[in-house]
Amino acid sequence: MKFSYFPGCTLKNKAKDLDRYALRCAEALGVTLEEIENWQCCGGVFTTAKDEIATKLSSVRILKAAKDKEQPLVTVCSACHNVVKQTNHAILTDKEFSDKVNRYMADDGRYDGSTEVYHYLEMLRDLVGFDALREKVKSPLSGKKIAAYYGCLLLRPGSVMKMDDPENPSIMEDMIRAIGAEPVIFANRNECCGGYVVMESPSLAEKKSGDIVRNAKVQGADMIVTACPLCRYNLMKNGADIPVIYFTELLAEALGVKEDTNE
C-alpha cells in the first residue's frame, strides 16, 4: 500500500519521534508513506471565517499533490489532520469557498476535494486492520495499562472528522488491545487539555491538563498515549507524573522497531 504523507511542521521539529516512529512502523506493516514534496505548514488552525482563504491554501496544495499522485493522503499530527480534513470538507460542501480557492490556485490547476484523507490511526484500523497489526506484533505490551487521550482535534467536529464517536471513541483503545496492552477508559479522554488558551490563561490550561492526568491515574493508568504534539507538550509542561508518549512510539515498541531514535 502506498500513500502520500504529510508530516507537518511540528513533526520536523519538536515531535520528531512521532514522525520517525510512524515511518518505521509503516514499513514494518508493509505500508509506504511518500512524503509530499515542498509542503508548507497546514495553517495551524482551521478558521471558520468565510472570508479567510489564504491560510487554507497550503492545505489545498497538500491535498492536490496527493490527488496528482492518485494516492490517498495520510497525516499523523492531530492538529494537521483536523485542518487538512476540514479544508477538504469545505471544498466539497461550500461552492463559494471552492470557487475562491480555485481562483487562487489558477496557476496550479483546480482541486475538487476528491482526495481521501486518513489519519494514521484510521489507516491502521480501516486499511491495514487491527487483526493484521496483531499478527505483526513482536513484543506484546502485556501488563501495561494505557490511557488513550484523544483531546479535541481528532474527533471534532464529528460530522466532518468522522473518525470515531466523538463522545465515546474506541479507535486508540482497539489499537492498544491489538498490541497486547490493557486500555484504560477514563472520563476526560476527549476533553481539551487547554493548549489553545495557554498564552491567555496559563492557570486554566494547567487545571485542565491536571484534571486529565489525575483522572487517568485514578482509573489505574501507567501511562498516557496521544496523537497530538500540542496535547503531549501541554500535559508534560503542566506536571504529568506518569509518562505521556506518542501512539507511534507505543506501536514501534510492540512491532520491535523502537531502536535508537537519537539520529
Please state the domain extents for the chain: 2-120, 138-255
Nine-digit cell string for 59: 492545505
The pLDDT confidence band at residue 260, using thresholds 50, 70 and 90, is low
Q: Which range has the worst mean pLDDT, 63-67, 142-146, 194-198, 214-218?
A: 194-198
The pLDDT confidence band at residue 109, using thresholds 50, 70 and 90, is confident
> Does domain 2-120 sit in CATH 3.40.50.720?
no
Rounded Cα distance between 127 and 259, Å, is 26
The pLDDT confidence band at residue 196, using thresholds 50, 70 and 90, is confident
Query: What's the average model confidence in pLDDT over 3-23?
Result: 96
| Average confidence score pLDDT of the chain | 95
Higher pLDDT, 31 or 52: 31
Establish whether domains 2-120 and 138-255 are of one fold: no
- Helices 57-68 and 95-104: crossing angle, nearest 10°? 80
Query: pLDDT over 70 for what percent of the chain?
Result: 98
Of 64, 61, 43, nearest in space to 52 by CA:
43
Query: What's the average model confidence in pLDDT over 208-233?
Result: 97
The pLDDT confidence band at residue 199, using thresholds 50, 70 and 90, is confident
Q: Is residue 92 scored above 60 in pLDDT?
A: yes
Tell me which CATH code domain 138-255 carries: 3.40.50.11810
